[in-house]
């Protein structure tokens, strides 16, 4: 419901309800509160009102949500073997379905014996267990992973002998993941790799989408 016409500069009251997209609201009623004052010569004038901080934040959230292409960073730990990892990723979508996006990523991990580089081609699906306009959403995903892994062991013996063993390996496997993503851009993710030994079997990842 809204007036048949609204003059430029008029103040209005807008009643809205949450929409289907995150951070988007749908107007249900618009009421004119004050028409613009008439000044000499018949022109309208209205004093600009500062935009509230909450409105500006909502606008930025909406702009972030509607972008089809996003980039981000990630960091975390890997288990079996124990590693510290960091990486970068891109997120594109939706594709085929409004809840499906692709998130290819590259991860670099370092440990006492093992170093690796992982290239993962993953897709994620937003689970319909939380409202689209909510502050968080859960997702799950899967995709192939390609791991380049180097293991090196060095040890010095007491009689002056050195033992140095190094091995380079390549493994392809399949990643299965689940996580929670917040409206501001941060996310937490748990990922497991199958058929990819000696790559890590479990990774705990924190990240941020810009």
What sign does the dihedral 109-111-116-118 (CA atoms) show? negative
Which of these three, 35, 51, 66, is where a domain ends? 66
Burial 73-95 (b: 16+ CB within 10 A, else e): ebebbbeebebebebebebebee
Task: Give the angle subtended at the CA of 61 by the CAs of 58 and 65, to the nearest 5°.
Answer: 140
pLDDT of 40 reads 45
6 is a domain residue: no
Is residue 14 within 8 Å of residue 2, measured between CB atoms? no
Beta bridge partner(s), residue 88: 73, 106
3 is a domain residue: no
HSE-up (13 A, CA, CB side) for residue 153: 3
* Same-domain check for residues 54 and 133: no
Count of domains observed in the chain:
2
DSSP H or E segment with residue 66: helix 53-66
Residue located via tokens 């093992």: 114
Which of these three, 66, 92, 112, is where a domain ends? 66
Domain of 196 in residue numbering reads as: 69-209
C-alpha distances (whole Å) from 39 to each of 5, 6, 103, 171 are: 20, 18, 56, 76
Beta bridge partner(s), residue 165: 153
pLDDT over 90, % of the chain: 39
* Same-domain check for residues 21 and 114: no
* Same-domain check for residues 93 and 192: yes
204 is a domain residue: yes
pLDDT greater than 60 at residue 115: yes
* Same-domain check for residues 25 and 76: no
* Same-domain check for residues 164 and 200: yes
pLDDT of 74 reads 97
pTM for the complete prediction?
A: 0.65
* Same-domain check for residues 45 and 94: no
The CATH code of the domain that includes 190 is: 2.40.160.20
Of 23-27, 42-46, 48-52, where does mean pLDDT reach its minimum?
A: 42-46
Distance CA 83, CA 60 (A): 36
pLDDT greater than 70 at residue 49: no
* Same-domain check for residues 47 and 61: yes
């Amino acid at each position: 419901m809204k007036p048949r016409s609204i003059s430029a500069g008029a103040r209005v009251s807008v009643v809205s309800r949450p929409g289907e997209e995150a951070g988007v609201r749908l107007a249900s009623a618009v009421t004119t509160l004050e028409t613009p004052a008439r000044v000499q010569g018949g022109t309208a004038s209205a004093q600009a009102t500062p935009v509230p901080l909450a409105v500006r934040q909502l606008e930025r959230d909406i702009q972030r949500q509607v972008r089809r292409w996003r980039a981000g960073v990630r960091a975390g730990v890997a288990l079996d073997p124990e590693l510290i990892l960091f990486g970068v990723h891109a997120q594109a979508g939706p594709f085929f379905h409004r809840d499906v996006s692709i998130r290819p990523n590259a991860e670099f991990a370092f440990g006492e014996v093992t170093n690796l580089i992982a290239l993962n081609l993953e897709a994620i699906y937003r689970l319909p267990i939380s409202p689209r306009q909510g502050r968080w959403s859960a997702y799950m995903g899967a995709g192939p992973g390609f791991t380049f892994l180097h293991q090196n062991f060095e040890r010095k013996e007491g009689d002056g002998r050195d033992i140095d063993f190094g091995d380079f390996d390549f493994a392809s496997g399949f990643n299965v993941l689940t996580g929670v993503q917040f409206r501001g851009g941060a996310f937490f993710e748990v990922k497991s790799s199958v058929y990819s030994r000696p790559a890590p079997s479990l990774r705990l990842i924190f990240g941020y989408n810009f």
